Structure 1
Amino acid sequence: MLDAFKHWFSRRAGLPGERALADWAHALGHHFKRSRDADGFIVEAHDGSWRLEWGPSQRRYIQGQELRLRAPLTGGAGLQMLLLTRGLLDLLEKQVFEQYTQELQTRIDLATPDEMRWLVLHPKLPAAELHALRGHYGGVGQPLEALASWVSGPLGTALAEWAARSSSSGPLLFIVQRERLTLRTALPRPDTQPIAELLRLFEVARREAQRVAAQWHVPGMEDPAASLWPHSADGPDTPAGPVR
């Protein structure tokens, strides 16, 4: 009874930043709503091109609250590209190595997300291909040429500018898989300004991912992890398709 009352009261009382974020979303014509469990927010683009979620983290490597942005891509079936901050890359490599060596087996458990499995399965982008992002970001992917194309040009410039002006050293990750782009980052409070800045960065990543997807169509490519490890059960992304 007490838990039910607390849940009801939290829904009535609102969450920090809710009014400002709702006003921002509505002013731009987007759709705003509370998440089903009333512990976060959802903003959907007016044209259905992206979906923003803020709430409890779905990944162990992000503590506390998390911001997620997702957008479908047209084409590019089979593309698997991961770009992430250098600190997060080092952390995930350490974790996946420890998990693998401690278990002394060829399988990683169900809680292992795709981005960690890819660190073992896919080649790493050479530092020379990162250009201005060298030392700030790392990446793995298949095919590697597609990843190199994605981080060059406008996305590389936008990420370098972000790294230069951002005061946050927290984790930031972009992943392309199953014809969808996803961004994940730690965000303790859903303040409008950092969300608007992250959305602009995401839009650059989405445009560039769509460009690469149009150039690199890899039909029938199967995730090689499927034959080694089970699919991640650690907060899997929703199925690919239009964002609604």
Structure 2
Amino acid sequence: MGPRPDDPPRPVSLEDTEQWAAAQGLAFSRTAEPGGFLMLGQYEGRTWRLECGAPQRHYLRGTELRARIDVGVEPDVALMLVSRPLKEALEREAYGAFTDTLQTSLPGDLPEEVRWLAMFEEMAWPGVPLPFWQHFAVVGEGGLHAKRWVQPSMVSHLLEMLLPAQGEPDEAGTRAPKAPPLMLMVARGKVSLRIEYPGDHLQTLADAVMLLHEAARCALQHLPQGTAKN
């Protein structure tokens, strides 16, 4: 059983994390990186991996959770769900890289997801709660694929993840929900997740695993299947 959302935040040790993983039936190992770990699990007969360590992307700070599962969808399906504050920051960076160098194309050293923001338009459709679009954005190639992938169950889970991540209080003293820096992608037949990990609550880890499972389930059930490229 995972932690409850109303549990008070506290520093999470590797021992805490290992015990949580064991309770979920997950394989756990520590990595050479201080405080780092690797988890392996199964979803619908497919192995997924989640690693915790120093960010491999400059747009995440502190510690990063990165996870991946091969769902075998058509390799050409390209979709990305990103927290809106992170999207806006990366778009400013991409625009700056383009204008500062006076190039006719984006620099090749930008991460793939940053290039996607320049290549693909944001998509939206009716029937999704407004708070979702206020806190998250969906970009990619093919609006029909996006609508099929971002199912109501995924929307609900993402909105629930906002609750512990409260923003700064406004003039009335109310703390508005704040989306964590988060990037969820379907590319080359795989679902991948990157999320900033504050390390002060196991609920964040539980949310990341649940989100990976939900994104994989939606991809397996609603996206066209194919042969994933390695």
Q: TM tier, shorter chain?
A: 0.7 to 0.9
The residue number in structure 1 matching 2:91 is: 93
Give the 3 Å change call, closer, same or farther, for CA 150–48 of structure 1 in structure 2: closer
Q: Distance in 2 between matches of 1:86 and 1:183?
A: 15
Structure 2 contact 149–223 (Cα < 8 Å) conserved: no
Structure 1 contact 87–171 (Cα < 8 Å) conserved: yes
Give the 3 Å change call, closer, same or farther, for CA 161–145 of structure 1 in structure 2: same
The residue number in structure 2 matching 1:162 is: 161
Give the 3 Å change call, closer, same or farther, for CA 136–169 of structure 1 in structure 2: closer
Deviation at 1:127, TM superposition (A): 6.1
- Indicate the percent of aligned positions where both proteins have the same amino acid: 27
Structure 1 contact 178–240 (Cα < 8 Å) conserved: yes
Of the three residues 120, 123, 128, the one matched with 1:122 is 120
Q: Distance in 1 between matches of 2:229 and 2:50?
A: 15
Give the 3 Å change call, closer, same or farther, for CA 68–240 of structure 1 in structure 2: farther
1:196 aligns with 2:206: yes
Structure 2 unaligned runs (5+)?
A: 1-10, 167-177
1:22 aligns with 2:32: no
Q: Distance in 1 between matches of 2:128 and 2:83?
A: 12
Q: Distance in 2 between matches of 1:55 and 1:104?
A: 35
Cα displacement string for residues 172-221 of structure 1 (whole angstroms, at most 9, x for unaligned residues): 11111011111111113274232112211221121112223236x6x8xx
Structure 1 unaligned runs (5+)?
A: 1-14, 220-238
Q: Distance in 2 between matches of 1:152 and 1:92?
A: 25
Of the three residues 96, 108, 111, the one matched with 2:109 is 111
1:70 aligns with 2:80: no
TM-score normalised according to structure 1 size: 0.75
TM-score normalised according to structure 2 size: 0.79
Q: Distance in 2 between matches of 1:209 and 1:189?
A: 28
Q: Distance in 1 between matches of 2:128 and 2:114?
A: 20
Deviation at 1:17, TM superposition (A): 1.1
Deviation at 1:62, TM superposition (A): 0.6
Deviation at 1:106, TM superposition (A): 2.7
- 1:202-221 aligned within 5 A: 202-214=212-224
Matched residue SS, 1:135: helix
Opposite residue 197 of structure 1, the aligned amino acid is: D
Superposed CA RMSD:
2.5
Number of residue pairs matched by the alignment: 206
Of the three residues 27, 32, 47, the one matched with 2:28 is 32
Deviation at 1:146, TM superposition (A): 0.6
Structure 1 contact 72–240 (Cα < 8 Å) conserved: no
Cα displacement string for residues 34-88 of structure 1 (whole angstroms, at most 9, x for unaligned residues): 2244451101115653111111001111111111121111222211001111111
The residue number in structure 1 matching 2:54 is: 56
Q: Distance in 1 between matches of 2:69 and 2:41?
A: 10
Query: Which protein has the bigger strand share?
Result: 2
The residue number in structure 1 matching 2:39 is: 43
Deviation at 1:100, TM superposition (A): 0.6
* Range with greater deviation from structure 2 (88-97 or 105-114): 105-114
The residue number in structure 1 matching 2:173 is: none
Deviation at 1:128, TM superposition (A): 4.4
Give the 3 Å change call, closer, same or farther, for CA 155–65 of structure 1 in structure 2: same
Deviation at 1:26, TM superposition (A): 1.9
Query: Which protein has the bigger helix share?
Result: 1
